[in-house]
Structure 1
């Protein structure tokens, strides 16, 4: 069996494990009787067992969620680029909207000052600073969005694009795993600061 055939089988196994249709939790969710414990009367009902507050929709990652390692090794580079463009585009749109809101607020305060309404100069200064930050970050995101959108990538997984052998495949996995660990470390450091 050739390297490509082994790689193809490995990628299919990885894809099968990551396939949300084969996820046992999703399978249970699709069969309410199993969730209610009707399948086994010796088990307690699962309905209402976990009523603790969960994360809200706006703080949950897009589904199905995969880590950096799984995405980098199992998804096509074209798909990864597309996902990055959509995510970065959403963040860019949010920054553009926020910058526009702060611009409107600055204008309203400036017009009120011009009419002679009592306005604190500190309010105008803080609004100008906030607008500046949102505009600056929006510009950076726009540059990143353009760079990612124009990146030339094949519609192949990384291993397929590089045509790696078994030894290179193990090395590739180790490098991506190392990147994921470093990225998580950086994220934790930013969250703590």
Structure 2
């Protein structure tokens, strides 16, 4: 699956908008005065006279830091931010798989040409190269589908508790459920690492 077919135009548009919003918010946090130097007026940027009234991005809109667990991210980050992070992580993994699959395809082709030219290339080598290419292609296709699925999800730009308008008891239940999920995820990751 090619990169163009793996990422729909809607997903690419969504990524561009998300990156633009994130960069703008990051710029506002780092240097609010730089926004006034741009001289652009839009409904998303404060007017030059109202620059001080334009809030910097809140914690829910900035990227997660590496030490944050699933519970902290699920409850403390905007759902749009979580989706953007997932898209970038999946995109990087997808790109790595596409590149690896291409390398193994090239190696398979080189080995087959060498064998036809009379060089000694064992059938075992050809089989191993074919298996490796097949695995990278299969996983690349799965990641491409995951990218499309995540990119097409509709999420509000607010944290989960706000999106659901939970009361105090429901907020406690959300905490417990996400904590339980985090524990189970860690267990699965450890099991996979041991196998």
What's the TM-score, normalizing by structure 1?
0.67
Render the CA deviation track for 1:22-70: whole Å, top value 9, x for unaligned: xxxxxxxxxxxxxxxxxxxxxxxxxxxxxxxxxxxxxxxx844310000
Shift in Å at residue 117 of structure 1?
1.1
What is the CA–CA distance in structure 1 between the aligned matches of 2:159 and 2:143, rounded to whole Å? Answer: 26
What is the CA–CA distance in structure 2 between the aligned matches of 1:101 and 1:64, rounded to whole Å? Answer: 30
What is the CA–CA distance in structure 1 between the aligned matches of 2:138 and 2:127, rounded to whole Å? Answer: 16
Matches within 5 A, 1:1-193: 63-193=65-195
Looking at CA atoms only, which structure, 1 or 2, has the larger radius of gyration?
1
Structure 1 stretches (4+) deviating beyond 2 angstroms? 62-65
Shift in Å at residue 119 of structure 1?
1.1
SS at match of 1:66: coil
What is the CA–CA distance in structure 2 between the aligned matches of 1:123 and 1:131, rounded to whole Å? Answer: 12
SS at match of 1:95: helix
What is the CA–CA distance in structure 2 between the aligned matches of 1:172 and 1:183, rounded to whole Å? Answer: 16
Shift in Å at residue 115 of structure 1?
0.9
In the alignment, structure 2 segments of 5+ residues that lack a partner are 1-63
What's the TM-score, normalizing by structure 2?
0.66
What is the CA–CA distance in structure 2 between the aligned matches of 1:102 and 1:192, rounded to whole Å? Answer: 27
In the alignment, structure 1 segments of 5+ residues that lack a partner are 1-61
CA RMSD of aligned residues (A): 1.0
What is the CA–CA distance in structure 2 between the aligned matches of 1:69 and 1:111, rounded to whole Å? Answer: 52
